[in-house]
Chain A
Amino acid sequence: MTTASDADTASARPPSRLGRLASWSASNQYVGVLLVLLCLVIVFSIQEPRFLTVANIRVLLTGIAILWMISLGLTVVMLTGGFDLSLGSMLALSGFIFVGFYSHLGVPALGAVVLTVAAGAAIGGLVNGFLIGRVGMPFLVVTIGTLSLYQGITYLVSDGQTTSITSSLLDSIGFDNALGVPITVWIMIGTLIVASFVLRMTYFGRDIYATGGNATAARLAGVHVPRTLMLAYAIAGAMAALAGVLQVAFISAASPVGSANVIFDATAAVLLGGTVLGGGVGGVGGTVIGVLFLGVLQNGLALAGIQSAWQQVISGAIVILAVLGQQLQRGRRPGDLRRLLGRSTTARDPA
Chain B
Amino acid sequence: MTVAARRAVGIVLTLGLFVAAVTVVTAPAVGASGSTEATAAAVKPYPGFEKAYRSSFPIPKKVGGKTYTIGCQNPVGQGNETTTTFCKGVQAEASALGMKYIGLDDGLSIDKQVSNFNQLLARGANAIALYPLAPNALRASLAKAKRQGVAVIGFNVTFTKSAKAPGYDAQIWEGRDAEAYLSVAEMARVAPRGKVVIVGIGAPVPAIKYLAQRYRFWAKKFGLQVIGEQDNPTDDIPGGRQAMSGLLGKYSDIDGVLAYNDESAVGSYTAARSAGRNDIKIIGINGSSLGTSALDAGHVAAIIQVDAVNQGAQAAAGAYNVLTKQGGKLPLVVVMRPKLLTKDNLKSATSWAQQLAKIKGGSLTR
Contacts and interface: CB of A to CB of B under 8 A. Distances in A.
Query: DSSP majority for the B interface?
Result: helix
A118 interface: yes
Interface stretch (A7-15, A48-56, A79-87, A330-338): A48-56
Interface in B191-238: 202, 228, 230-234, 236-238
B7 interface: yes
B7 A259 contact: no
Contact of B19 (A117, A253, A311): A117
Nearest to A61: B274
Contact of A51 (B17, B26, B249, B288): B249
Contact of B13 (A174, A194, A234, A311): A194
A231 B263 contact: no
Closest 6 pairs (CB-CB, A-B): A302-B246, A204-B10, A168-B29, A202-B10, A190-B21, A308-B202
B10 A198 contact: yes
Contacts of B294: 251-253
Most interface-central of B6, B246, B263, B273 (chain A CB within 10 A): B246
6 contacts: A117-B22, A160-B78, A178-B25, A194-B17, A203-B3, A207-B10
B81 A172 contact: no
Interface stretch (A211-219, A237-245, A271-279, A343-351): A237-245
A305 interface: yes
Nearest to A239: B18
Contact of B28 (A63, A176, A198, A262): A176
Given A252-B32, A312-B233, A59 B10 contact: no
Contacts of B10: 198, 202-205, 207
Contact of A175 (B13, B30, B249, B266): B30
A298 B242 contact: yes
A324 interface: no
Contacts, number: 233
Interface string A298-319: 1101111101110110000000
Contact of B243 (A60, A164, A247, A302): A302
Contacts of A195: 18
A118 B13 CA distance: 13
Contacts of B140: none
B249 A182 contact: no
Contacts of B202: 308-309, 312
A191 B14 CA distance: 10
Interface residues of A, number: 82
Interface of A: 48, 50-51, 53, 55-56, 58-60, 62-63, 66, 110, 113-114, 117-118, 121, 151, 155, 160-164, 166, 168-169, 171-178, 182-183, 186-187, 190-191, 194-195, 197-198, 202-205, 207, 231, 234-235, 238-239, 242, 245, 247, 250-253, 255-257, 259-262, 298-299, 301-305, 307-309, 311-312
A308 B238 CA distance: 13
B271 A63 contact: yes
Contacts of B270: 174, 250-251
A194 B14 CA distance: 7
Nearest to A186: B25
Nearest to B252: A50
Contacts of A113: 22-23
A12 to B, nearest CB: 32
A257 B18 contact: no
B289 A303 contact: no
A198 B9 CA distance: 9
A59 to B, nearest CB: 5
A163 to B, nearest CB: 7
A250 B21 CA distance: 18
Contacts of A204: 7, 9-11, 13-14
Given A172-B29, A187-B21, A205-B10, 14 more contacts: A117-B19, A164-B296, A172-B26, A175-B30, A175-B273, A190-B24, A194-B18, A197-B13, A242-B21, A251-B290, A252-B293, A253-B297, A298-B242, A299-B249
